[in-house]
Amino acid sequence: MARTASAKKSVRMSASTLPTKSPTKSPTKSPTKSGAKSRSKPSGLTYAQAGVDIDAGDEVVDRIKPIVRRTYSPRVMGLHGAFAGMFRLDNNRAFKKNYRNPVLVACTDGVGTKVKLAAEFKIYDTVGIDCVAMNVNDLIVQGAEPLFFLDYLGLSKLNPADTTAMIAGVAKGCEIAGCALIGGECAEMPDIYAPGDFDVAGFCVGVVELEHTKRQLPVQKGDIIIGLPSSGVHSNGYTLVRRIVKDAKLSYTRKYAELGGKRLIDVLLEPTRIYAKEIVGLLEALGKKNVISGMAHITGGGLPGNVCRALGEQVDAVISAKAWEPPAIFPFLQKHGGVATDEMFRVFNMGIGYTLIVRPDAAATVLKALRKLGEKPILIGVVDLGAGEARIVH
């Protein structure tokens, strides 16, 4: 549905119909289709003249219907004119088998200042994937299966083509993650955002079996740390990235040999990897084998600031920086920015986007299962006695 309120115009979609609503609180029919009677030209000052285009919002609603529907599963429900999305938890045998005592898991996150680059270069179809990734990758750390997703877009001006591209990115991310996009909102706020600016945030809900939460192993000395490769910078550290590019007078549109001949902007806007299907698949493959003692999504704070969140107070994660070669973008940024190595690891993922801590006698099994799922896992460290810190050894 669509709704308006003073200086804000939003388009909200719900489960299966994505209907619209007029600026008043009384419901209206769905957006005007081709061949339908056009609206008469209003007299006097209009909302569009003030900066908010209701018709553009209606067009977006029509454009995104087939895109959003591609993410649906039989669990998604909805009635025409619904104000919220609905999702069934008990309509298939597999769900009942896997979740006898289901616990809902929820999280929210955004993309950060990476959106400034997307806005500047008008590349709108990738940050939606980032938005899903930043949420879903957090969710699976709890062992949860992603169920559904909702997004929020705040924009200076609602351009139907550009807005549709943003939402298409979110839908693509949901398809990769295996969750349904059952709702969202686009808010056109010219008094809040500068011309061309926008922001995107998301909200994800998943499910985990209660028994899984109760039998979490403690991390102990000797446990093995496995890293899963990132696709690049992902969605953290872009304030530093943009400062490096500015100070070093680099060109976003130049193709650099150090980056494999790719344009800098294309490397920086590479979407964040989504690890959902691999981690959920791993947990299913392991079944009742309780061998994972911790997981971490490597976001802001890098390896030192995130792996430590999976540890207890009596152990340290000792990670060898020589265990893998960081993607070319990281030495490129370090060289041109004059950034110390420790600071690079404290800000960026440095090529490792997700980590698992496993019992040493199960490491080979976990590695084999991950490779079977298409992953390229790397042994990056070991757990030792300590004080709950993640230490990088160069």
CATH number at residue 142: 3.30.1330.10
pLDDT digits 0-9 by tens, 261-276 = 999 999 999 999 999 9
Query: What pLDDT score was predicted for residue 1?
Result: 33
Question: CA–CA separation, 23 vs 337, rounded Å?
Answer: 49
Q: Is the pLDDT of residue 107 over 90?
A: yes
The 10s digit of each residue's pLDDT in 27-61 is 333 334 444 445 667 779 999 999 899 899 888 98
- What is the per-residue pLDDT for 91? 64
Residues 179 and 236 in one domain: no
Whether 43 is covered by a domain: the verdict is no
With H, G, I as helix, E, B as strand and everything else as coil, classify residue 268: helix
Instruction: Examine the domain organization and report whether 80 and 196 are in the same domain.
Output: yes
Residue 288 lies in a domain: yes
- What integer pLDDT is reported at residue 37 of this predicted model? 44
Three-state DSSP class for residue 103: strand
Beta-bridge partners for 9: 4, 188
Length of the chain: 394
pLDDT 10s digits, 345-355:
999 999 999 99
| 81 pLDDT more than 70 | no
Structural domain ending residue among the three candidates 193, 214, 235? 214
Are the C-beta atoms of residues 293 and 220 closer than 8 Å to each other? yes
Domain co-membership, 7 together with 145: yes
pTM recorded for the entire structure: 0.89
* Residue with the larger pLDDT of the pair 333 and 214: 333
pLDDT higher than 90, residue 83:
no
Is pLDDT of 26 > 80?
no
40 falls within a domain: no
Range of the domain at 343: 224-393
Q: What is the pLDDT of residues 58-71, one digit of tens each?
A: 889 889 988 999 99
For residues 9 and 149, membership in a common domain is answered with yes
Last-in-domain residue among 168, 183, 214: 214
As for how many domains the chain has, the answer is: 2
CATH code where residue 389 lies: 3.90.650.10
Whether residues 197 and 285 share a domain: the answer is no
pLDDT tens-digit readout, 174-211: 999 999 999 999 999 999 999 999 999 999 999 999 98
